[in-house]
Amino acid sequence: MSEIKNILLVGVGGQGVLLASELLSDAAFKSDFDVKKSEVHGMAQRGGVVSSHVRFGEKVHSPLIPQGDCDVMLAFEQAEALRWLHFMKSSGVVIVNQRVWVPPIALMKGFEYPQDPLGMVQERMQRVLKINAQQMAEDLGNPKVENTLLLGTLSTVIELPVTIWQDVIRARVPKGTDALNLRAFELGLQSVTGEK
Amino acid sequence: MKAILSGNEAVARGCYESGLHIATAYPGTPSTEILENITQYPEIKAQWAPNEKVAFEVAMGACFEGARTLVAMKHVGLNVAADPFMSVSLIGAPGGLIVVTADDPGMHSSQNEQDNRTYAKFAGYPCFEPADSQESKDFIAEALRISIEYDVPVLYRMTTRICHSKGIVELGDRVDYPISGFQPDPKKFVVLPAHARVRRHWALERLHRLTEYAEITPLNTIETGSRPIGVITNGISYQYVCEIMPDVSILKLGVSYPLPMQKIQQFAQSVDQLFVIEELEPFIEDQILAAGIACQGKQFWPTTGEFTPDIVQIGFVKAGVLKETSAFVKPEEVIARPPIFCPGCPHRAVYVALNKLKATVSSDIGCYTLGALPPLSATDTCVEMGASIGVAVGMATARGSGKGIVATIGDSTFMHSGMTGLLNAVTQNAGITVVILDNSITAMTGGQHHPGTGKNLDGRSSKPVEFAKLCQSLGVDRIKVIDPYDLIQTQEVLKAEMETDTLSVVLTNRPCALYPPENRKKVLQVPFHVNTDVCIGCHACFRVSCPAISEADTKTKKGLTQSCIDPQLCTGCSVCAQVCPVQAIQRVNHE
Ligand SMILES: Cc1ncc(C[n+]2csc(CCOP(=O)(O)OP(=O)(O)O)c2C)c(N)n1
């Protein structure tokens, strides 16, 4: 069987997970791979659970990643990394944005946000990269580039040419923000150099 | 040229390439983006209809004129359009008619998971089932060809996973066709009993010819594998079978009705063991068994829920053809993130008030269905679009009084199928209260226009319905307009109307806080914050269920956790400030 790269992007509605997965699938498409991408939208408004499966390789059949086959998970939020951990290959890489987003339901009795989700992920997985993308995006002057920053980090663990990433970013981000987004991508890319 | 497209985008592209003339729909997840994407092709006239029945009727008229036509809806929409859908069987589809049904296995965003292939069999239409984006585009041309050649509507069945997954699609150019014009033929187009009896024989004979087509179409293909195991499958399940069992023989059904029973018989004879793998009902399996061919399916693969590669794999393990692989890791139970009303949603205060007033609430389908969830917990019933008023009238009839019974219905839903219910409430003299939650958009499905908004799909303006005038002419005497940001007024008006046994309509007058996006600026007001000198930590504000409100790090002198408001999320609607017993929630510029 031909090699397929399985990437899961997870987070909370409003964090830009779906745009990030659009960019990733575009980059894989432009790199001449067969690509499938799947997510369910409908009630995925602000604050809901969002997940997107992206798979690329010579020939991809299922748009969904089989459980236990995921090579890389990019989690935009700590508890979301935990929610989808069962999809991971034991040798896979989990990239966790250190952001914590407590849902309003936690205000009601009987619901609790997990104690230390990142710690739990680190306990179970050998290869975990953490990044404080929210802070870094704010330092760059625009919290909205958090997702591009995270893509920069993702780009260090999947092999797609950097020039293609840059093309895709230029083509997809809002007009006038391409320079900022390219800088965010670069920052995300450099923030993990050497520790994979 | 190639592009990466979702199933819905690919259907739209297929319509463009196959020379489609007219497309119509009523929005409904997961089908909505088909029509929205068709608008990028000005060659196709595209319009929203107020409901699926009207959309279907418009499509029939267009195709009677000889236009190549498509009508799209979600699965439950076909129930609404079922009357014309069934009867046009006896007329046919001279210009070509594709009926897209977008089914929702697993009920990602629907109230049921009915399998609409059943409708193809019911009406005697061919059922096309694409398995990826490329097929979602390519099958459109073939479906139109068959529709025209056999003079039959084609049921084009998508599912959520096909509609919303993206894949690579090879694009083609548009081929144009003239619209041939209506050819009057009363014996065909007027289905009087005398005509219909004759046409019924014609329709049965047409189905016979379609069966012959199903035997030879390349859409029903056999892929021979190295193991003597055969799988008959359709749609997305095909992809999972390829993924999990690359070495079996597969009969892939791109046309799942009528079934090519001879081909199936031959396929069955070529393998030692035959499985049928299909989401939802044993639609294919039952027909194969009825034809006396042995196969297994629903013993191993579930009848409810959406399939995944894992579910397909587990079925093969149960069937004994795959060895037990390493056990699946159980998912961690992580706190849920259920949808709640957006900050500034005009529906919020109505349900805060109805909860307080302990009304019996017969609700409907839309964003406001969220009024059922805790802590609002105001809604008692919700069935299907337009049900709220009829159900309320039935309750009032049974109780002998409409006091305390409130029907809540959105503006798009009222246009869709609420008006006749209200007309009946007038006729029955039912003393219920009807709240029309007019946020001036179809919000639930992502912000589409409807007859009350004054805009068409293509941006042309239309004459908007005036709800108060409409209700008046239906015969409602008591009509009240309320500002749903004014919780006190909302509660007082609802209380007064609930206490009288006279029919009344209460109209809300604030727009959606989200759609259309260009309206958002008008919705935003100065945000609120919690004054920590005043907040007593009673958490009354939590009960309005707003995403902008959360627990603060600060505590009261008694050690109770205070509340805080996210100024980025707060739209300044003021509903929380009105429930605060100590006026701790104040506008940000308040000194
Ligand atoms: C028969 C049918 N068609 C379409 C849908 C999809 N759908 C769910 S709610 C809704 C309309 C919601 O609009 P509105 O009543 O204005 O309420 P809002 O969401 O704006 O609050 C639609 C089209 C459905 N559930 N059933």
> Within 13 A of B285's CA, how many CA atoms are on the CB side?
20
- At residue B392 the predicted structure's pLDDT band, cuts being 50, 70 and 90, is very high
- B464 and B370 fall within a common domain: yes
How confident is the model at residue B519, as a pLDDT? 87
ipTM above 0.85, yes or no: yes
pLDDT digits over B13-65, tens only?
Answer: 999 999 999 999 999 999 999 999 999 999 999 999 999 999 999 999 999 99
- B367 and B423 fall within a common domain: yes
- At residue A14 the predicted structure's pLDDT band, cuts being 50, 70 and 90, is confident
- At residue A194 the predicted structure's pLDDT band, cuts being 50, 70 and 90, is very low
Domain annotation covers residue B115: yes
- At residue A46 the predicted structure's pLDDT band, cuts being 50, 70 and 90, is confident
How confident is the model at residue A43, as a pLDDT? 55
How confident is the model at residue A115, as a pLDDT? 94
Rg (CA), chain A: 16
Q: Which of B75, B226, B243 to mutate to test the interface with A (most CBs of A within 10 A)?
A: B243
Asked if the Cβ–Cβ distance from A43 to B108 is below 8 Å, we say yes
A-chain residues within 8 Å CB-CB of B567? none
Domain membership of residue B456 as a residue range? 348-520
Architecture of domain A5-191: 3-Layer(aba) Sandwich (3.40)
Burial-class residue B531 by CB neighbours within 10 Å (0-12, 13-18, 19+).
Answer: middle
Mean pLDDT of B208-233: 98
Higher pLDDT, B380 or A39: B380
Q: Report the CATH number at residue B565.
A: 3.30.70.20
Residue finishing a domain among B308, B324, B340: B324
How confident is the model at residue A45, as a pLDDT? 67
Residues with CB under 6 A from ligand 1: B 26-28, 52, 74, 76-77, 80, 365-368, 385, 410-413, 437, 439, 441-445
- At residue B589 the predicted structure's pLDDT band, cuts being 50, 70 and 90, is confident
How confident is the model at residue A191, as a pLDDT? 86
Note the pTM of the prediction, 2 decimals.
Answer: 0.97
Asked if the Cβ–Cβ distance from A35 to B542 is below 8 Å, we say no
- B531 and B410 fall within a common domain: no
Look at residues B291, B422, B446, B313 and name the one whose alpha carbon lies nearest to residue B367: B446
- B392 and B243 fall within a common domain: no
Query: Which residue's CA lies nearest to atom 24 of ligand 1?
Result: B28
Domain annotation covers residue B329: no
- B288 and B393 fall within a common domain: no
CA dist B471 and B484 (Å) reads 19
Mean pLDDT of B146-171: 98
CA dist B284 and B121 (Å) reads 11
Query: Which residue's CA lies nearest to atom 5 of ligand 1?
Result: B28
Mean pLDDT of B135-161: 98
Residue finishing a domain among B216, B238, B266: B216
pLDDT digits over B497-515, tens only?
Answer: 999 999 999 999 999 999 9
Could you please report the per-residue DSSP string of B505-567?
EEEE----SSSSGGGHHHH--PPEEE-TTT--S--GGGGG--TTEEEEEEE-TT-PEEEEE-T
Domain annotation covers residue B342: no
Look at residues B527, B528, B545, B524 and name the one whose alpha carbon lies nearest to residue B584: B528
Q: Is the pLDDT of residue A1 over 90?
A: no
- B178 and B248 fall within a common domain: no
Distance A189 CA to ligand 1 centre (A): 43
For a ligand 1 pocket test, name from B24, B415, B445 the mutation site with the most ligand atoms within 8 angstroms of its C-beta.
Answer: B445
Distance B72 CA to ligand 1 centre (A): 15
B-chain residues within 8 Å CB-CB of A47? 337, 339-340, 547
Going from N- to C-terminal start, the domains of chain A cover: 5-191
- B529 and B516 fall within a common domain: no
How confident is the model at residue A53, as a pLDDT? 98
- B295 and B246 fall within a common domain: yes
- B19 and B168 fall within a common domain: yes
How confident is the model at residue B567, as a pLDDT? 94
Percentage, residues of chain A above pLDDT 90? 83
Q: Is the pLDDT of residue A27 over 90?
A: yes
Distance, C-alpha B210 to centroid of its chain: 30
Q: Which residue has the tokens 């090699």?
A: A3
Q: Which residue has the tokens 């727009």?
A: B511
DSSP H or E stretch at residue B48:
strand B45-48
Query: Which long-range contacts link B86-89 to residues 24+ away (Cβ below 8 Å)?
Result: B86/B122, B86/B123, B87/B191, B88/B60, B88/B153, B89/B123, B89/B124, B89/B125, B89/B152, B89/B153, B89/B203
pLDDT digits over A111-131, tens only?
Answer: 999 999 999 999 999 999 999
CA dist A119 and A37 (Å) reads 29
Mean pLDDT of B418-435: 98
Residue finishing a domain among B469, B501, B520: B520
How confident is the model at residue A41, as a pLDDT? 63
Domain count for chain B, please give it.
4
Q: Report the CATH number at residue B191.
A: 3.40.50.970
How confident is the model at residue B350, as a pLDDT? 98
Q: How many helices (H) and strands (E) does chain A have?
A: 7, 6
Q: Is the pLDDT of residue A196 over 50?
A: no
Look at residues B400, B480, B402 and name the one whose alpha carbon lies nearest to residue B435: B480
Distance B57 CA to ligand 1 centre (A): 20
For a ligand 1 pocket test, name from B83, B368, B383, B416 the mutation site with the most ligand atoms within 8 angstroms of its C-beta.
Answer: B416
- B97 and B189 fall within a common domain: yes
CA B79 to ligand 1: nearest atom: 1
Mean pLDDT, chain B, integer: 97
Mean pLDDT of B545-566: 96
Percentage, residues of chain B above pLDDT 70? 99
Residues forming beta bridges with residue B409, ordered by sequence position: B436
- At residue A44 the predicted structure's pLDDT band, cuts being 50, 70 and 90, is low
Residues ≥6 apart with Cβ < 8 Å to B286: none
Look at residues B252, B290, B294 and name the one whose alpha carbon lies nearest to residue B272: B294
B-chain residues within 8 Å CB-CB of A82? 332, 334
The DSSP bridge pattern shows strands B561-565 and B504-508 to be unpaired
- B90 and B13 fall within a common domain: yes
Distance A102 CA to ligand 1 centre (A): 29
**What chain A residue is nearest to B247 in terms of C-alpha separation?**
A1
Look at residues B446, B376, B451 and name the one whose alpha carbon lies nearest to residue B413: B451
- B496 and B530 fall within a common domain: no
